Structure 1
Amino acid sequence: MDMKVVWIEDERELLEEGARFLRQEGWEVEGAASAEEAEALIERGRPDLLLVDWMLEGGRTGLDLCRLNDRSWQLPLLMVTARGDEFDRVLALELGADDFIQKPFSLRELHARMKAVLRRAGRTATASGADVQEPGGEGEVLERGELTIRPLSHEAELEGRALELTRTEFALLLRLASRPGRVFTRTHLLEEALGDAFAGYERTIDSHIRNLRRKLGDDPADPRFVLTVYGVGYKFNPDAGAGR
């Protein structure tokens, strides 16, 4: 079965050229020029990936779709835009983009980034387009004391209560909890959760960790689950299941 992408792009020539290329690479491609068109396509049949331009027809922007995706669909999302300064990259990151590619770009680079985003989401596309789970991507349910993490469904529960995590927060929690006691640098966590498009923005991980701790009910001065290793990064408390 081909992997499916919805590409939301107001430059018709780029969309048509890109769609031809991706179809040759084994993708099913549906295009939209506005957020409204994109919503209809996504609700009709969930794709494996979203390509979202910053500027769209109809008044709404790609950032609006990032927010909606983070709330509703939680699909892998690659931002495609001519904007590329630090503020724009950080804003896209904070709103849930998984990667960022700046125009102009080669279609081969775009395709490589698409596959990288899917790998980080736990899946990859074969040369024929088949959907294959990465080794360990399917994952077993993780039980860490009163914390339960389900990698396949991107769900986490604490004491039986569902946690409302963003894609980035879930990716960070899963990575940390998969190796209790191991110290991860900010750079490592950034690459794992968000990809190399955000290289150089390691300190943004701190804000995501703060949000994650808040949702876990952790006291910042004495966290139970996610511990700070000063001067290095973070680790998941190996004694988290032992209670306080």
Structure 2
Amino acid sequence: MSDNVKLLLVDDDQELCELMGQYLQSEGFEVSFAHSAEQALPLLQRDGAYDLLIFDIMMPGQTGLELLQQVRPRVKTPVIMLTGRGDDIDRIIGLEMGADDYLGKPCNPRELVARIRAVLRRSGQPAVTEETAAVLRLHNIELDPGKRRVQVAGNEIEMTSAEFNVLAELMQAVGSIVSKDELTEKVLHRKLTAYDRAIDVHVSRVRQKLAAAMPGSELIKTVRGAGYMLVSE
């Protein structure tokens, strides 16, 4: 998967960038660097220049969150945020602003590679299986796994790869509860860990976007202690 995959790592810690860059390059990735948000912006003028972006949240000048806010939704490239351990608010804000995942610093390089591969996998592949890869239609929602497109009443809804896959999983299991563990494994391609709010934020974002497109609707129910369910028509 890593052949010719282009990464942009944005972090003011130049020594860390060098060490992480060497490891990522040894794993077959092509890595570019920027040491500030201001330095990164000119590199992000063209969507598709990189396959994945890695932003450190805490940087002097503009933060990684401010950089993310500037490039979303114009740049649809997947983003992983690097956060200080325990910075739950920043992590949640990052996800709400369109980040695909986050990892606490200092991070294990092997874990970062695993997260990169998981994000690339879910951004490039449908969440549904080949057997059920047909267009899904429900509640005036049309989800096309092949085109990675969601429409409500004919109007396209912008979704991140994680949000798209959340909706796909819930539409496939309409009327049934999908546990947070199952959603995390299928959507984020990792195990759910204690205090991990990532999947909750992605579900919340899908709710908000559906509600904006379908005022008054409440299609996704939270089943306390069990998971989430898309209500049947």
Alignment of 1:1-244 (within 5 A): 1-44=3-46, 45-57=48-60, 59-123=61-125, 136=129, 139-144=133-138, 146-193=140-187, 199-200=194-195, 201=197, 204=201, 207-208=204-205, 210-217=207-214, 219=216, 223=218, 225-229=219-223, 232-239=226-233
- 8 Å CA contact 1:19–1:29 kept in 2: the answer is yes
Shift of residue 72, structure 1, vs aligned partner: 1.7
What is the distance in 1 between the residues matched to 2:128 and 2:220?
25
Q: Where does structure 2 lack aligned partners over 5 or more consecutive residues? A: none
- 8 Å CA contact 1:227–1:234 kept in 2: the answer is yes
Instruction: Compute the RMSD of aligned alpha carbons.
Output: 3.2
Matched pairs, number: 226
What is the distance in 2 between the residues matched to 1:135 and 1:230?
25
What is the distance in 2 between the residues matched to 1:25 and 1:60?
30
What is the distance in 1 between the residues matched to 2:124 and 2:129?
8
What is the distance in 2 between the residues matched to 1:134 and 1:192?
7
Shift of residue 205, structure 1, vs aligned partner: 5.9
Give the TM-score normalised by structure 1.
Answer: 0.75
Farther-moved stretch of structure 1 (71-80 vs 158-167)? 158-167
Give the TM-score normalised by structure 2.
Answer: 0.78
Shift of residue 50, structure 1, vs aligned partner: 0.9
Q: Give % identity.
A: 34
What is the distance in 1 between the residues matched to 2:35 and 2:193?
26
Structure 2 letter corresponding to 1:172: V
Farther-moved stretch of structure 1 (72-81 vs 39-48)? 39-48
Shift of residue 74, structure 1, vs aligned partner: 2.5
- 8 Å CA contact 1:101–1:197 kept in 2: the answer is no
- 8 Å CA contact 1:147–1:157 kept in 2: the answer is yes
What is the distance in 2 between the residues matched to 1:205 and 1:135?
17
Q: Where does structure 1 lack aligned partners over 5 or more consecutive residues? A: 124-132, 240-244
- 8 Å CA contact 2:12–2:59 kept in 1: the answer is yes
